[in-house]
Amino acid sequence: MQYPKHIVYVTGIIENEQGEILMIKSSYRPGWEPPGGIVELGEDAITAVIREVKEETGYDVKISGILSVVQNTGSPGSEPKFGLVFKGEPTGGQAQTSAESLAVDWFPPDQALELIQAEGMKVRVLDALAFAGKVNFKAYISKPSFQVVRELR
């Protein structure tokens, strides 16, 4: 039996004292999104989200919880992926762009949602904002069009 291979990624919903969400203008996708990326081999997910936020934004963060689990079930032409969405707060650093971020800024939640163009990313932020103490799960396909195929709240 051959075991399936999945990419694991993390997303950081980082909120400052004013209730604003940290966002990057991606260099490879249209629009803005929260920082995050792929968990490297041998790396745990919390270390990965802390690293990704630092690399993409310049901010040091403390992670305080997990908000949701998302799964792209492997749309045609893409690898299946699992994503973990974490909540955190800044502890230091300053805004700094990278090869993956053309701009870094803080936005009120409603404005942050308006700036997100990727549907899968918008779902992560919507679920994070609606978090009521219970981790959500959502499975979706992204091609040919975005569609949630299973949900557990």
DSSP code for 18: T
CA distance 102 to 117: 15
Q: Where exactly are the structural domains of the chain?
A: 7-146
Closest CA relative to residue 23, chosen from 32, 11, 15, 31 = 32
The domain 7-146: what is its CATH number? 3.90.79.10
Q: What is the pLDDT of residue 2?
A: 82
Ordered per-residue pLDDT tens for the chain, 153 residues: 888 888 999 999 999 999 999 999 999 999 999 999 999 999 999 999 999 999 999 999 999 999 999 999 877 777 899 999 999 999 999 999 999 999 999 999 999 999 999 988 999 999 999 999 999 999 998 888 889 999 998
Q: What is the pTM of this model?
A: 0.94
